[in-house]
Amino acid sequence: MEARLLIVDDEEIALRNLQHVMEKEGYQVTASRSGADAVKWLEKHAFDVVLTDLRMEGVDGMDVLKKSRELQPEAEVIFITGYATAESAVQALKHGAFYYIAKPFRLDEVRKVVAEALAKVGLRRENDELRREVERYRDGDGIVTQDNGMQRLLDMARQIAPTDCSVLITGESGTGKELFAKYLHRQSNRADGPYTAINCGAFSEQLLTNELFGHEKGAFTGATALKRGLIEVSSGGTLFLDEVTEMAPSMQVKLLRVLQEKEVLRVGGTRPVKCDVRVLAATNRDVTEAVKNGSFREDLYFRLNVVNLHIPPLSRRKGDIPLLARHFLLKYASRMKKPVTRISDEVLAVLMDYPFPGNVRELENLIERGTAMAQGDVIEVAHLPESFRKAGGFSFRKIAGRLPTLEEQEHTYISRVLEEVKGNQTVAAQILGINRASLWRKLKARRGEEPGK
Protein backbone atom coordinates (compact mmCIF):
# COMPACT_ATOMS: atom_id res chain seq x y z
CA MET A 1 0.00 0.00 0.00
CA GLU A 2 1.09 3.57 -0.71
CA ALA A 3 2.09 5.50 2.40
CA ARG A 4 -0.46 8.23 3.18
CA LEU A 5 0.83 11.68 4.08
CA LEU A 6 -1.06 14.74 5.33
CA ILE A 7 0.84 17.99 4.72
CA VAL A 8 -0.37 21.10 6.55
CA ASP A 9 0.96 24.61 5.78
CA ASP A 10 -0.76 27.97 5.40
CA GLU A 11 1.85 29.09 2.83
CA GLU A 12 0.52 28.01 -0.58
CA ILE A 13 3.89 27.83 -2.35
CA ALA A 14 5.59 25.86 0.43
CA LEU A 15 2.62 23.51 0.61
CA ARG A 16 2.55 22.78 -3.13
CA ASN A 17 6.32 22.34 -3.37
CA LEU A 18 6.37 19.82 -0.53
CA GLN A 19 3.34 18.03 -1.97
CA HIS A 20 5.07 17.74 -5.35
CA VAL A 21 8.28 16.37 -3.81
CA MET A 22 6.48 13.77 -1.69
CA GLU A 23 4.27 12.61 -4.58
CA LYS A 24 7.41 12.09 -6.67
CA GLU A 25 8.62 9.80 -3.87
CA GLY A 26 5.54 7.65 -4.47
CA TYR A 27 3.48 8.73 -1.47
CA GLN A 28 -0.25 9.41 -1.48
CA VAL A 29 -0.45 13.05 -0.36
CA THR A 30 -3.29 15.15 1.01
CA ALA A 31 -2.54 18.90 1.19
CA SER A 32 -4.25 21.15 3.74
CA ARG A 33 -3.91 24.97 3.99
CA SER A 34 -5.05 25.28 7.61
CA GLY A 35 -4.96 23.49 10.92
CA ALA A 36 -8.74 23.44 11.12
CA ASP A 37 -8.96 21.80 7.69
CA ALA A 38 -6.27 19.26 8.72
CA VAL A 39 -8.30 18.25 11.78
CA LYS A 40 -11.29 17.53 9.50
CA TRP A 41 -9.09 15.29 7.35
CA LEU A 42 -7.83 13.47 10.45
CA GLU A 43 -11.40 12.84 11.58
CA LYS A 44 -12.39 11.22 8.26
CA HIS A 45 -9.26 9.56 6.82
CA ALA A 46 -6.28 7.54 8.06
CA PHE A 47 -2.72 8.77 7.58
CA ASP A 48 0.72 7.32 8.25
CA VAL A 49 2.63 10.60 8.63
CA VAL A 50 1.53 14.19 9.23
CA LEU A 51 3.89 17.03 8.22
CA THR A 52 2.67 20.27 9.71
CA ASP A 53 3.73 23.88 10.06
CA LEU A 54 3.90 25.12 13.64
CA ARG A 55 2.50 28.66 13.49
CA MET A 56 -0.87 28.95 11.77
CA GLU A 57 -3.97 31.06 12.33
CA GLY A 58 -6.59 29.55 14.65
CA VAL A 59 -5.66 25.89 14.93
CA ASP A 60 -1.84 25.75 15.03
CA GLY A 61 0.60 22.88 14.63
CA MET A 62 0.50 21.89 18.31
CA ASP A 63 -3.29 21.57 18.05
CA VAL A 64 -2.86 19.35 14.96
CA LEU A 65 -0.33 17.22 16.87
CA LYS A 66 -2.66 16.77 19.86
CA LYS A 67 -5.63 15.92 17.62
CA SER A 68 -3.52 13.46 15.65
CA ARG A 69 -2.40 11.73 18.87
CA GLU A 70 -6.04 11.50 19.91
CA LEU A 71 -7.56 10.32 16.62
CA GLN A 72 -4.68 8.41 15.02
CA PRO A 73 -2.08 7.48 17.66
CA GLU A 74 -0.23 5.22 15.21
CA ALA A 75 0.56 8.14 12.86
CA GLU A 76 3.85 10.02 13.26
CA VAL A 77 3.89 13.84 13.25
CA ILE A 78 6.77 15.92 11.84
CA PHE A 79 7.01 19.68 12.35
CA ILE A 80 8.40 21.89 9.58
CA THR A 81 8.53 25.53 10.65
CA GLY A 82 10.22 28.82 9.92
CA TYR A 83 9.88 29.85 13.59
CA ALA A 84 12.18 27.24 15.07
CA THR A 85 13.26 27.76 18.65
CA ALA A 86 14.76 25.37 21.19
CA GLU A 87 11.72 25.84 23.41
CA SER A 88 9.19 25.01 20.67
CA ALA A 89 11.25 21.99 19.58
CA VAL A 90 11.29 20.63 23.12
CA GLN A 91 7.55 21.17 23.48
CA ALA A 92 6.83 19.44 20.18
CA LEU A 93 8.93 16.38 21.03
CA LYS A 94 7.52 16.30 24.56
CA HIS A 95 3.99 16.03 23.14
CA GLY A 96 4.95 13.15 20.84
CA ALA A 97 6.26 14.69 17.61
CA PHE A 98 8.58 12.41 15.66
CA TYR A 99 10.91 15.16 14.42
CA TYR A 100 11.31 18.91 14.18
CA ILE A 101 12.70 20.48 10.98
CA ALA A 102 13.57 24.18 10.65
CA LYS A 103 12.93 26.19 7.46
CA PRO A 104 14.57 26.62 5.07
CA PHE A 105 14.91 22.84 4.94
CA ARG A 106 16.92 20.55 2.69
CA LEU A 107 14.76 18.20 0.62
CA ASP A 108 17.11 15.30 1.34
CA GLU A 109 16.58 15.86 5.06
CA VAL A 110 12.78 15.83 4.67
CA ARG A 111 12.88 12.69 2.52
CA LYS A 112 15.08 10.94 5.10
CA VAL A 113 12.94 11.94 8.09
CA VAL A 114 9.69 10.92 6.36
CA ALA A 115 11.22 7.54 5.41
CA GLU A 116 12.33 6.98 9.03
CA ALA A 117 8.89 7.92 10.35
CA LEU A 118 7.23 5.51 7.91
CA ALA A 119 9.68 2.77 8.92
CA LYS A 120 8.69 3.27 12.55
CA VAL A 121 4.99 3.12 11.63
CA GLY A 122 5.63 -0.03 9.60
CA LEU A 123 7.51 -1.73 12.44
CA ARG A 124 4.73 -0.91 14.88
CA ARG A 125 2.10 -2.33 12.52
CA GLU A 126 4.13 -5.46 11.85
CA ASN A 127 4.44 -5.98 15.59
CA ASP A 128 0.71 -5.46 16.02
CA GLU A 129 -0.06 -7.94 13.24
CA LEU A 130 2.38 -10.44 14.74
CA ARG A 131 0.78 -9.98 18.14
CA ARG A 132 -2.72 -10.47 16.72
CA GLU A 133 -1.63 -13.68 14.99
CA VAL A 134 -0.15 -15.07 18.21
CA GLU A 135 -3.14 -13.96 20.30
CA ARG A 136 -5.50 -15.89 18.00
CA TYR A 137 -3.86 -19.09 19.16
CA ARG A 138 -2.83 -18.14 22.70
CA ASP A 139 -4.88 -19.58 25.51
CA GLY A 140 -5.67 -17.20 28.34
CA ASP A 141 -3.05 -18.91 30.48
CA GLY A 142 -0.18 -18.53 28.03
CA ILE A 143 -0.20 -21.81 26.06
CA VAL A 144 0.34 -20.99 22.37
CA THR A 145 -0.81 -23.70 19.95
CA GLN A 146 -2.88 -24.33 16.86
CA ASP A 147 -2.28 -28.09 16.90
CA ASN A 148 -5.46 -30.18 17.10
CA GLY A 149 -3.92 -32.67 19.53
CA MET A 150 -2.81 -29.89 21.87
CA GLN A 151 -6.24 -28.30 21.65
CA ARG A 152 -7.77 -31.60 22.76
CA LEU A 153 -5.35 -31.71 25.70
CA LEU A 154 -6.40 -28.19 26.68
CA ASP A 155 -10.05 -29.23 26.50
CA MET A 156 -9.32 -32.19 28.77
CA ALA A 157 -7.36 -29.96 31.16
CA ARG A 158 -10.27 -27.51 31.35
CA GLN A 159 -12.62 -30.40 32.10
CA ILE A 160 -10.56 -31.95 34.92
CA ALA A 161 -9.19 -28.73 36.45
CA PRO A 162 -12.12 -28.17 38.87
CA THR A 163 -12.26 -31.84 39.97
CA ASP A 164 -9.26 -31.67 42.34
CA CYS A 165 -7.94 -35.07 41.19
CA SER A 166 -4.22 -35.76 40.89
CA VAL A 167 -2.76 -35.41 37.39
CA LEU A 168 0.43 -36.92 35.97
CA ILE A 169 1.85 -34.85 33.12
CA THR A 170 4.27 -36.75 30.91
CA GLY A 171 6.36 -35.82 27.91
CA GLU A 172 9.88 -35.05 26.79
CA SER A 173 11.93 -32.30 28.41
CA GLY A 174 11.06 -28.86 27.11
CA THR A 175 7.54 -29.65 25.89
CA GLY A 176 5.83 -27.35 28.40
CA LYS A 177 4.70 -29.67 31.18
CA GLU A 178 4.85 -26.94 33.83
CA LEU A 179 2.77 -24.65 31.62
CA PHE A 180 0.02 -27.27 31.79
CA ALA A 181 0.44 -27.56 35.57
CA LYS A 182 -0.02 -23.79 35.93
CA TYR A 183 -2.96 -23.97 33.55
CA LEU A 184 -4.66 -26.64 35.68
CA HIS A 185 -4.12 -24.53 38.81
CA ARG A 186 -5.51 -21.34 37.27
CA GLN A 187 -8.54 -23.14 35.88
CA SER A 188 -9.25 -24.90 39.18
CA ASN A 189 -11.24 -23.89 42.24
CA ARG A 190 -7.88 -23.37 43.96
CA ALA A 191 -6.82 -20.55 41.64
CA ASP A 192 -6.82 -18.04 44.52
CA GLY A 193 -4.60 -20.33 46.61
CA PRO A 194 -0.83 -20.77 46.37
CA TYR A 195 0.88 -22.50 43.44
CA THR A 196 4.23 -24.04 44.39
CA ALA A 197 6.64 -25.94 42.15
CA ILE A 198 9.72 -27.98 43.00
CA ASN A 199 12.11 -30.02 40.86
CA CYS A 200 12.56 -33.35 42.66
CA GLY A 201 15.71 -34.13 40.70
CA ALA A 202 17.51 -31.01 41.85
CA PHE A 203 17.83 -31.98 45.54
CA SER A 204 19.39 -34.74 47.56
CA GLU A 205 16.95 -36.92 49.52
CA GLN A 206 17.67 -35.09 52.78
CA LEU A 207 17.22 -31.63 51.29
CA LEU A 208 14.06 -32.64 49.42
CA THR A 209 12.58 -34.04 52.63
CA ASN A 210 13.27 -30.76 54.40
CA GLU A 211 11.88 -28.68 51.53
CA LEU A 212 8.66 -30.68 51.20
CA PHE A 213 7.90 -31.61 54.80
CA GLY A 214 9.63 -28.87 56.81
CA HIS A 215 11.05 -29.47 60.30
CA GLU A 216 10.45 -28.74 63.94
CA LYS A 217 12.71 -26.46 65.93
CA GLY A 218 15.68 -28.48 67.20
CA ALA A 219 15.02 -31.40 64.83
CA PHE A 220 18.70 -31.38 63.82
CA THR A 221 21.80 -29.24 64.21
CA GLY A 222 21.06 -25.80 62.77
CA ALA A 223 17.27 -26.14 63.01
CA THR A 224 16.92 -23.02 65.15
CA ALA A 225 13.29 -22.39 64.22
CA LEU A 226 10.24 -24.23 62.97
CA LYS A 227 10.04 -24.44 59.17
CA ARG A 228 6.84 -25.24 57.28
CA GLY A 229 7.47 -27.39 54.22
CA LEU A 230 6.13 -26.73 50.73
CA ILE A 231 3.33 -29.26 51.16
CA GLU A 232 2.07 -27.39 54.21
CA VAL A 233 2.65 -23.98 52.63
CA SER A 234 0.66 -25.05 49.55
CA SER A 235 -2.42 -26.00 51.59
CA GLY A 236 -5.48 -24.58 49.87
CA GLY A 237 -3.59 -24.51 46.59
CA THR A 238 -1.53 -26.67 44.25
CA LEU A 239 1.86 -28.36 44.58
CA PHE A 240 3.67 -29.27 41.35
CA LEU A 241 6.31 -31.99 41.61
CA ASP A 242 8.53 -31.89 38.53
CA GLU A 243 10.71 -34.91 37.70
CA VAL A 244 8.79 -36.90 40.32
CA THR A 245 10.39 -40.18 39.19
CA GLU A 246 13.75 -38.88 40.48
CA MET A 247 12.38 -39.11 44.03
CA ALA A 248 14.09 -41.65 46.33
CA PRO A 249 11.99 -44.70 47.40
CA SER A 250 11.79 -43.55 51.03
CA MET A 251 10.48 -40.17 49.87
CA GLN A 252 7.89 -41.90 47.70
CA VAL A 253 6.47 -43.60 50.80
CA LYS A 254 6.15 -40.26 52.60
CA LEU A 255 4.47 -38.64 49.59
CA LEU A 256 2.03 -41.54 49.32
CA ARG A 257 0.95 -40.93 52.93
CA VAL A 258 0.34 -37.24 52.16
CA LEU A 259 -1.90 -38.21 49.24
CA GLN A 260 -3.79 -40.83 51.24
CA GLU A 261 -4.16 -39.16 54.62
CA LYS A 262 -4.07 -35.46 53.62
CA GLU A 263 -1.56 -34.75 56.37
CA VAL A 264 2.15 -34.09 56.71
CA LEU A 265 4.62 -34.93 59.45
CA ARG A 266 7.47 -32.43 59.80
CA VAL A 267 11.01 -33.72 60.35
CA GLY A 268 11.44 -34.15 64.09
CA GLY A 269 7.70 -33.82 64.65
CA THR A 270 5.35 -36.20 66.47
CA ARG A 271 1.97 -34.75 65.51
CA PRO A 272 0.77 -34.76 61.86
CA VAL A 273 -0.46 -31.48 60.39
CA LYS A 274 -3.56 -31.54 58.19
CA CYS A 275 -3.03 -30.12 54.72
CA ASP A 276 -5.46 -29.63 51.85
CA VAL A 277 -3.24 -29.63 48.78
CA ARG A 278 -3.73 -30.79 45.21
CA VAL A 279 -0.67 -32.58 43.84
CA LEU A 280 0.28 -32.40 40.18
CA ALA A 281 3.34 -34.32 39.02
CA ALA A 282 5.43 -34.48 35.86
CA THR A 283 8.18 -36.62 34.42
CA ASN A 284 10.03 -37.07 31.14
CA ARG A 285 10.64 -40.75 31.90
CA ASP A 286 8.56 -43.80 30.97
CA VAL A 287 6.75 -44.25 34.29
CA THR A 288 5.41 -47.72 33.52
CA GLU A 289 8.97 -48.85 32.86
CA ALA A 290 10.10 -47.25 36.14
CA VAL A 291 7.34 -49.18 37.93
CA LYS A 292 8.41 -52.43 36.27
CA ASN A 293 12.05 -52.06 37.24
CA GLY A 294 11.11 -51.12 40.81
CA SER A 295 12.49 -47.57 40.85
CA PHE A 296 9.00 -46.08 41.24
CA ARG A 297 6.26 -47.40 43.55
CA GLU A 298 3.23 -48.80 41.78
CA ASP A 299 0.81 -47.58 44.47
CA LEU A 300 2.18 -44.03 44.20
CA TYR A 301 1.95 -44.22 40.42
CA PHE A 302 -1.76 -45.06 40.65
CA ARG A 303 -2.34 -42.26 43.17
CA LEU A 304 -0.68 -39.69 40.93
CA ASN A 305 -1.93 -41.00 37.60
CA VAL A 306 -5.65 -40.47 38.14
CA VAL A 307 -5.54 -38.52 34.87
CA ASN A 308 -2.60 -38.53 32.48
CA LEU A 309 -1.83 -35.63 30.17
CA HIS A 310 0.86 -36.58 27.67
CA ILE A 311 2.39 -33.55 25.94
CA PRO A 312 3.59 -34.44 22.42
CA PRO A 313 7.08 -33.40 21.32
CA LEU A 314 7.43 -30.37 19.06
CA SER A 315 8.51 -32.64 16.19
CA ARG A 316 4.97 -34.06 16.18
CA ARG A 317 3.28 -30.66 15.99
CA LYS A 318 5.28 -28.91 13.30
CA GLY A 319 2.46 -26.46 12.64
CA ASP A 320 3.19 -24.82 16.00
CA ILE A 321 6.82 -24.02 15.12
CA PRO A 322 6.20 -20.75 13.16
CA LEU A 323 3.57 -19.65 15.69
CA LEU A 324 5.80 -20.31 18.71
CA ALA A 325 8.79 -18.72 16.96
CA ARG A 326 6.80 -15.51 16.45
CA HIS A 327 5.56 -15.65 20.04
CA PHE A 328 9.14 -15.82 21.33
CA LEU A 329 10.22 -13.11 18.87
CA LEU A 330 7.63 -10.73 20.34
CA LYS A 331 8.67 -11.67 23.87
CA TYR A 332 12.40 -11.11 23.42
CA ALA A 333 12.22 -8.15 21.05
CA SER A 334 10.14 -6.37 23.70
CA ARG A 335 12.40 -7.47 26.55
CA MET A 336 15.58 -6.42 24.70
CA LYS A 337 13.96 -3.27 23.30
CA LYS A 338 15.03 -4.22 19.77
CA PRO A 339 13.07 -3.44 16.55
CA VAL A 340 13.11 -7.07 15.38
CA THR A 341 9.74 -7.91 13.86
CA ARG A 342 10.32 -10.74 11.39
CA ILE A 343 11.90 -14.14 10.98
CA SER A 344 13.21 -14.72 7.47
CA ASP A 345 11.67 -17.42 5.26
CA GLU A 346 15.05 -19.18 5.20
CA VAL A 347 15.13 -19.38 9.01
CA LEU A 348 11.55 -20.67 9.15
CA ALA A 349 12.43 -23.34 6.56
CA VAL A 350 15.40 -24.46 8.69
CA LEU A 351 13.22 -24.53 11.80
CA MET A 352 10.57 -26.61 10.07
CA ASP A 353 13.17 -29.18 8.94
CA TYR A 354 14.83 -29.47 12.36
CA PRO A 355 13.72 -32.32 14.70
CA PHE A 356 13.97 -30.21 17.91
CA PRO A 357 15.18 -32.80 20.42
CA GLY A 358 15.08 -29.98 23.00
CA ASN A 359 11.47 -29.21 22.05
CA VAL A 360 9.87 -25.82 22.77
CA ARG A 361 12.62 -24.82 25.20
CA GLU A 362 15.23 -25.26 22.46
CA LEU A 363 13.15 -23.23 20.00
CA GLU A 364 12.82 -20.45 22.56
CA ASN A 365 16.59 -20.39 23.11
CA LEU A 366 17.20 -20.16 19.36
CA ILE A 367 14.80 -17.24 18.91
CA GLU A 368 16.22 -15.47 21.96
CA ARG A 369 19.72 -15.77 20.49
CA GLY A 370 18.52 -14.73 17.02
CA THR A 371 16.82 -11.64 18.46
CA ALA A 372 19.95 -10.71 20.38
CA MET A 373 22.19 -11.18 17.31
CA ALA A 374 19.92 -9.46 14.77
CA GLN A 375 21.15 -6.03 13.70
CA GLY A 376 18.09 -5.02 11.72
CA ASP A 377 14.45 -5.98 11.92
CA VAL A 378 14.83 -9.57 10.65
CA ILE A 379 16.32 -12.75 12.15
CA GLU A 380 18.47 -14.31 9.42
CA VAL A 381 20.15 -17.73 9.20
CA ALA A 382 23.49 -16.11 10.08
CA HIS A 383 22.06 -15.18 13.50
CA LEU A 384 21.55 -18.84 14.45
CA PRO A 385 24.30 -20.94 16.11
CA GLU A 386 26.67 -22.60 13.67
CA SER A 387 25.98 -26.00 15.21
CA PHE A 388 22.27 -25.50 14.54
CA ARG A 389 22.85 -24.41 10.94
CA LYS A 390 24.66 -27.70 10.40
CA ALA A 391 22.02 -29.67 12.28
CA GLY A 392 20.15 -30.77 9.18
CA GLY A 393 23.11 -32.93 8.23
CA PHE A 394 23.50 -34.70 11.55
CA SER A 395 19.91 -35.28 12.63
CA PHE A 396 19.71 -38.83 11.25
CA ARG A 397 23.21 -39.37 9.87
CA LYS A 398 23.99 -43.06 9.52
CA ILE A 399 26.71 -44.69 11.60
CA ALA A 400 28.62 -47.45 9.80
CA GLY A 401 25.79 -47.74 7.30
CA ARG A 402 22.99 -47.95 9.85
CA LEU A 403 20.63 -45.48 11.51
CA PRO A 404 21.77 -44.44 15.00
CA THR A 405 20.10 -45.71 18.16
CA LEU A 406 18.19 -43.28 20.38
CA GLU A 407 21.06 -43.38 22.88
CA GLU A 408 23.59 -42.51 20.16
CA GLN A 409 21.39 -39.64 19.01
CA GLU A 410 21.18 -38.34 22.56
CA HIS A 411 24.96 -38.51 22.97
CA THR A 412 25.46 -36.66 19.68
CA TYR A 413 23.09 -33.89 20.68
CA ILE A 414 24.64 -33.52 24.14
CA SER A 415 28.05 -33.15 22.48
CA ARG A 416 26.66 -30.46 20.15
CA VAL A 417 25.18 -28.50 23.03
CA LEU A 418 28.37 -28.74 25.12
CA GLU A 419 30.38 -27.58 22.12
CA GLU A 420 28.05 -24.61 21.64
CA VAL A 421 28.32 -23.49 25.29
CA LYS A 422 32.08 -24.16 25.44
CA GLY A 423 31.76 -27.02 27.93
CA ASN A 424 29.64 -25.18 30.52
CA GLN A 425 27.62 -28.06 31.97
CA THR A 426 25.25 -25.82 33.94
CA VAL A 427 24.19 -23.92 30.81
CA ALA A 428 24.09 -27.15 28.79
CA ALA A 429 21.74 -28.76 31.34
CA GLN A 430 19.40 -25.75 31.11
CA ILE A 431 19.28 -26.00 27.30
CA LEU A 432 18.74 -29.77 27.46
CA GLY A 433 15.94 -29.31 30.01
CA ILE A 434 17.50 -31.58 32.64
CA ASN A 435 19.27 -30.92 35.91
CA ARG A 436 23.04 -30.86 36.16
CA ALA A 437 23.15 -34.18 38.04
CA SER A 438 21.25 -35.92 35.22
CA LEU A 439 23.66 -34.47 32.66
CA TRP A 440 26.61 -35.65 34.74
CA ARG A 441 25.17 -39.19 34.83
CA LYS A 442 24.65 -39.18 31.05
CA LEU A 443 28.22 -38.02 30.46
CA LYS A 444 29.51 -40.74 32.80
CA ALA A 445 27.45 -43.36 30.98
CA ARG A 446 28.75 -42.14 27.61
CA ARG A 447 32.33 -42.63 28.81
CA GLY A 448 31.45 -46.10 30.01
CA GLU A 449 31.90 -45.22 33.67
CA GLU A 450 29.53 -46.16 36.47
CA PRO A 451 27.70 -43.03 37.77
CA GLY A 452 28.68 -43.73 41.37
CA LYS A 453 32.40 -43.62 40.65
Q: Tell me, what's the pLDDT at 93?
A: 78
Give domain limits for the chain: 4-125, 148-312, 315-446
Beta bridge partners of 307: 167
Q: Tell which CATH architecture fits domain 315-446.
A: Orthogonal Bundle (1.10)
Q: In the chain, which residues have pLDDT < 70?
A: 1, 83-88, 133-141, 389-404, 420, 446-453
Q: Tell me, what's the pLDDT at 86?
A: 65
Assign domain 4-125 one CATH number from 3.30.360.10, 3.20.20.70, 3.30.450.20, 3.40.50.2300. Answer: 3.40.50.2300
The answer to whether domain 148-312 and domain 315-446 are alike in fold is: no
Q: Tell me, what's the pLDDT at 395?
A: 47
pTM value is 0.64
pLDDT in tens, 111-139: 999 999 998 888 778 777 777 766 666 66
Q: Tell me, what's the pLDDT at 308?
A: 96
Give the per-residue SS3 of the chain. CCCEEEEECCCHHHHHHHHHHHHHCCCEEEEECCHHHHHHHHHHCCCCEEEECCCCCCCCHHHHHHHHHHHCCCCEEEEEECCCCHHHHHHHHHCCCCEEEECCCCHHHHHHHHHHHHHHHHHHHHHHHHHHHHHHCECCCCCECCCHHHHHHHHHHHHHHHHCCCEEEECCCCCCHHHHHHHHHHHCCCCCCCEEEEEHHHCCHHHHHHHHHEECCCCCCCCCCCEECHHHHCCCCEEEEECHHHCCHHHHHHHHHHHHHCEECCECCCCCEECCCEEEEEECCCHHHHHHCCCCCHHHHHHHCCEEEECCCHHHCCCHHHHHHHHHHHHHHHHHCCCCCEECHHHHHHHHHCCCCCHHHHHHHHHHHHHHHCCCCEECHHHCCHHHHCHHHHCCCCECCECCCHHHHHHHHHHHHHHHCCCCHHHHHHHHCCCHHHHHHHHHHHCCCCCCC
CA separation, residue 245 to residues 157, 234, 402 (Å): 22, 21, 33
Q: CATH fold of 148-312, please? A: Rossmann fold (3.40.50)
Q: Tell me, what's the pLDDT at 134?
A: 65
